[in-house]
């Protein structure tokens, strides 16, 4: 803590106050440096928004509001409606959540409530291993191994559900492809499970053990204790964790790009090829120019805004539930 320069009683030409001490330049400089580093976060976020908006203004103005909500994406005809990509992003992320959420919650409960510490620790390492595998490697595995393998399975399922009302439109053919919304959903699920698991674990671990003992003391089984004492405390935080996973799934580029296919179509058939926002940007950018490029950057801005909102929402929920627990 720096001492402030004391303004002592005015002495015409007398000595300064014995405890006066000007805060050294180095100290002030360091504080300034730290402040700048902190502000960098805000600056970058603002710059992202501004620069992408600028570069995509061309497209935004020409596509207009109606064009914005169209799914027609035809480069040669200069039609750049982004909704097919939005659809693909949303669908593949939802599939990823459906697969990943029960698995993640199951694992986090397993690690916090069921397994003794010694056994849980190596399993946590395994989950961390999962998180460290680069997304491009998942994509490589996906496109070279998973896609061909699933191609046949999808075909079989499609012929199996042929004619059955809802199932046929979801899982039916005839254009099923290994690279599809569903495959992307699977790969995304694998990739977001570690983050949802680790965030949920943190939340669940803060449930006070005295609450858990209270449930046990009433003769509850472990599952009943989890439902009665653990879940009410942690549901907010877990929901936040899930939303963060959602944001991650929506923004995942490379793995999705390699396995989702490359047809910007809006279709209910989950086994068909599709496209997603980040995948489109990654795959099409190389040859794009002019309005095409501007459109892709616009999609990037859209993606930025969507993931920003989801993450904001998620953090608020997590904050709120953490505060509630501290208060209790």
Partner 1 sequence: MEQPQNEVTAKLTVPQTATGTRPGSQPRPQAGATVFDLDKVSVYYGAFRAVTEVSMNIHENEITAFIGPSGCGKTTVLRSLNRMNDLIPGARVEGKIRYRGAGLYDVQASPTAVRRRIGMVFQKANPFPKSIYDNIAYGPRINGIRSKSRLDEIVETSLRHAALWDEVKDRLGKSGLGLSGGQAQRLCIARTLAVEPDVVLMDEPCSALDPIATGRIEDLMQEIKSRYTIVIVTHNMQQATRVSDRTAFFSVLRNEQPGRSDTRTGVLVEYDRTVNIFDNPRDERTQAYVTGRMG
Partner 2 sequence: MAGTAVNPGRQSVPDLREPAGWRRAKNQIMTGLMGLAFLIIVVPLVLVLYLVVQKGIGAISWQFLSGPIPPNVMPLGFNGSGMGPAVVGTLEITGFAALMAIPLGVLGAVYINEYGGRSMLSRVISFMADVMTGVPSVVMGLFIYTIWVLHFGYSGLAGSFALACLMLPIIIRSSFEMLRLVPDNLRQGSYALGATKSRVTLTVVLPAAVGGIVSGCLLAVARAAGETAPLLFTILTVESTNTNLFSGANTALSAQIFANATSPYVGAEARAWGAALTLIVIAFVLMIVARIITARFTRYSR
> Binding to partner 2 (CB under 8 A): which residues in 59-98?
none
- Among residues 201, 233, 248, 269, which is the contact residue for partner 1, using CB under 8 A? 233
For residues 165 and 160, what is the distance between their CA atoms, to the nearest angstrom?
A: 12
Please tell me what DSSP assigns to residue 270: T
For residues 150 and 324, what is the distance between their CA atoms, to the nearest angstrom?
A: 45
String of contacts with partner 1 for each residue 163-202, x by CB under 8 A:
----------------------------------------
Binding window for partner 2 (CB under 8 A); candidates: 57-65, 138-146, 156-164, 208-216:
138-146
Which is closer to partner 2, CB of 107 or CB of 158?
A: 107
- Among residues 23, 213, 316, 323, which is the contact residue for partner 1, using CB under 8 A? 213
**Please, what is the minimum distance in Å from the beta carbon of residue 203 to partner 2?**
14
Helix (H) or strand (E) segment spanning residue 315: helix 290-327
Structure token pair of residue 43: 């600056």
Using CA atoms, how far residue 6 sits from 24, 26, 215, 225, 307, in Å, is 15, 20, 60, 61, 50
Q: Which does residue 210 bind out of partner 2, partner 1, none, counting CB within 5 to 8 angstroms by kind?
A: partner 1
- Among residues 16, 44, 164, 166, which is the contact residue for partner 2, using CB under 8 A? 44
Which is closer to partner 2, CB of 9 or CB of 122?
A: 122
Interaction between residue 214 and partner 1 (CB under 8 A): yes
Q: Which does residue 139 bind out of partner 2, partner 1, none, counting CB within 5 to 8 angstroms by kind?
A: partner 2
Binding window for partner 1 (CB under 8 A); candidates: 71-79, 178-186, 224-232, 259-267:
224-232
Burial class (CB in 10 A: 0-12, 13-18, 19+), 193: buried
Q: Which residue, 193, 192, 190, is CA-closest to 107?
A: 193
Please tell me what DSSP assigns to residue 286: G
Interaction between residue 310 and partner 2 (CB under 8 A): yes
Q: How far apart are the first and last CA of the chain?
A: 34
95 preceded by a cis bond (ω within 30 of 0)? no
Binding window for partner 1 (CB under 8 A); candidates: 42-50, 80-88, 208-216, 270-278:
208-216
Q: The tokens 């879940």 sit on which residue?
A: 231
Are 191 and 151 spatial neighbours (Cβ–Cβ below 8 Å)?
A: no
String of contacts with partner 2 for each residue 164-193, x by CB under 8 A:
--------------------------x--x
Interaction between residue 20 and partner 2 (CB under 8 A): no
Interaction between residue 10 and partner 2 (CB under 8 A): no
Interaction between residue 216 and partner 1 (CB under 8 A): yes
The count of residues in the chain is 328
Q: Cβ contacts of residue 135 below 8 Å, gap of 6+? A: 191, 252, 253, 254, 255
> Binding residues for partner 1, per CB under 8 A?
116-117, 208, 210-211, 213-221, 224, 228-229, 232-233, 328
């Amino acid at each position: 803590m720096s001492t402030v320069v004391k303004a002592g009683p005015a002495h015409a030409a007398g000595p300064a106050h014995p405890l006066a001490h000007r805060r050294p330049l180095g100290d002030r400089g360091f504080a300034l440096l730290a402040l700048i580093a902190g502000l960098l976060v805000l600056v970058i976020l603002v710059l992202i928004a501004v620069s992408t908006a600028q570069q995509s203004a061309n497209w935004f103005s020409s596509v207009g509001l109606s064009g914005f909500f169209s799914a027609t994406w035809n480069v040669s005809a200069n039609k750049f409606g982004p909704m097919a990509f939005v659809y693909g992003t949303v669908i593949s992320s939802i599939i990823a959540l459906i697969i990943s959420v029960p698995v993640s919650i199951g694992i986090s409960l397993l690690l916090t409530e069921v397994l003794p510490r010694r056994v849980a620790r190596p399993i946590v390492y395994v989950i961390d291993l999962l998180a460290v595998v680069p997304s491009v490697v998942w994509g490589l595995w996906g496109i070279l191994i998973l896609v061909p393998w699933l191609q046949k399975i999808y075909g079989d399922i499609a012929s199996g559900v042929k004619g059955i009302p809802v199932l046929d439109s979801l899982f039916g053919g005839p254009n099923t492809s290994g690279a599809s919304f569903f495959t992307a959903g699977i790969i995304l699920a694998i990739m977001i499970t570690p983050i949802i698991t680790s965030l949920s674990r943190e939340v669940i671990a803060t449930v006070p053990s005295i609450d858990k003992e209270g449930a046990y003391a009433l003769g509850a089984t472990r599952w009943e204790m989890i439902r009665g004492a653990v879940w009410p405390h942690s549901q907010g935080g877990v929901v936040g964790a899930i939303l963060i996973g959602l944001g991650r799934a929506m923004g995942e580029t490379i793995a999705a790009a390699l396995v989702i296919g490359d047809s910007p179509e809006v279709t209910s058939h989950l086994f068909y090829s599709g496209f997603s926002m980040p995948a489109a940007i990654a795959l099409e950018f190389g040859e794009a120019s002019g309005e095409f490029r501007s459109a892709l950057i616009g999609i990037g801005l859209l993606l930025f805004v969507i993931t920003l909102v989801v993450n904001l929402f998620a953090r608020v929920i997590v904050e709120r539930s953490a505060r509630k627990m501290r208060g209790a």
